[in-house]
Amino acid sequence: MIAKISHGTKIYGALLYNHSKVIAGNAEILQMYQMLQTTSGEYTTGQLLSSFLPFLALNKKTEKTALHISLNPDPKDIITDEDYIKIADEYMVKLGYGNQPYVVFKHNDIDRPHIHIVSTVIDHEGNKISDSFEKKRSMEICRELEKKYRLIPANEKKITQRNSLHPVDYTQGNIKSQIASVVKFLPKYFNFQSIGGYNALLSLFNITAEQVKNEYHGELKEGLVYFALDKNGNKISNPFKSSLFGKQAGLSALRLSFENSKRVTQETKHLTRKLIDLALKNTAGEQDFKKYLIELGINTVIRRNEQGRLYGISFIDHNTRNVFNGSHLGKQYSANIFHERFVPEQASEKPQFSFDSQSSYSAQSATLKEDLHPFFHFMSDSASFFSDWGLLDSLLLDNLAEDPEEHLFEFNMKKKKRRKTT
């Protein structure tokens, strides 16, 4: 079992991230320890937050008051909900947080069930609980729990290496292997409803997929080929047949994913619309709009033709792991609407594609941390904190989605600071 520990500044963000999965049907609340409970057993994010507010009020000096932990057993382990609760309780006691209020979420949105625990590091007297040697103590606790509950022992180094994921850097060679590491992973963890949505996601990794048709013995055959892209979104490699990367990267499997992804609930779409509406309300230009949405957990990929006209827009929502073309969310989010909104900026924007990834891994790594959502911070060499975590779903643990009002305040303060320095 692997434990991932995150200390953050916003408990609301950790709660909102997990609760959004509950609303989308991809998670459930297993345990509410020393938390205020409702008679119905249903909660809003605000109601969950209320259990922690008295603790936060006792300590105004500690910056990182949020504690967010994920416990990840081996995929082959079979664990009941009752045992998940026992494991969470024992883990928190042994780590020193046994007297704290905390909520345990079980995530079912990937093929590896796991639990998340949200709590605070501020105790009942307003003191910060020590996190000295926390990583070492956590590993020892996990080994004890593995033995007690007969779980498969974890090899953290092996798991980290196996799940390494980076955007393609064509200057490093071995492009086929680089593409393979991405296309074998993404379809398992993201929903997209079309080739366009799939390519929006792939573009963040400097990859594009192209549908091809050939006649073979009088029969029309369809397939998919992949290309590596340079920093301007241009094809820079020879085509690679999808068969080189397994069935999951092929057209048939992706078409099945398209159909399954179309079953997304209106509640899930509403979560994405709400965040986009907030960005539209509080920003004026395209770049501010993109950066604001990144703060809320959404990457925006915009496509333009050679004349600079915006003809496509996609939203990659890391909160729900869905890729939506604007039109999928409603007419008010279509490409035409955003073309009109961003028209003042078109004169200065000539590239055919606009990628939030800022492209080349080697040449642009310094800008990735600013321009990409934290889910993809591991792309940057400087983001050693995230690369140490390994499993990608755990990259969403901190500062993924926080209080929108706080985001607005912080966003405006950053804008004022930038104006003063220019």
pLDDT tens for residues 242-301?
988 888 889 888 998 888 888 888 888 888 898 899 889 888 889 889 888 877 778 899
pLDDT < 70 stretches in the chain: 109-111, 155-165, 216-218, 344-422
CA distances from 170 to 129, 174, 238, 294 (A): 46, 8, 11, 26
Characterize the bridge pairing of strands 114-120 and 102-107. antiparallel
Res 418: pLDDT: 57
Q: Which pTM does this prediction carry?
A: 0.52
Give the type of residue at 239. Answer: P
Beta bridge partners of 102: 33, 119
Res 383: pLDDT: 28
Is 213 buried (19+), middle (13-18) or exposed (0-12) by CB count in 10 A?
exposed
Res 421: pLDDT: 58
Res 408: pLDDT: 44
What are the b/e assignments for 164-178, b being 16+ CB within 10 Å?
ebbbbbbeeeebeeb
pLDDT tens for residues 311-342?
899 999 887 888 999 988 999 999 999 998 88
CA dihedral in degrees (377, 382, 388, 394; nearest 10)? -10
Which residue carries 């990182």 as its tokens? 64
| Cα 67 from Cα 97, distance rounded (Å) | 10
Residue 86 backbone dihedrals phi, psi, to 5 degrees: -65, -40
CA distances from 317 to 251, 314, 375 (A): 23, 10, 10
| Cα 115 from Cα 80, distance rounded (Å) | 12
Res 106: pLDDT: 93
Q: What share of the chain has pLDDT > 90, as a percent?
A: 28
Res 228: pLDDT: 92
When computed from its CA atoms, the radius of gyration of the chain, rounded to whole angstroms, is 22
Could you give the angle at which helices 11-23 and 266-282 cross, rounded to 10 degrees?
Answer: 140
Give the type of residue at 47. Answer: Q
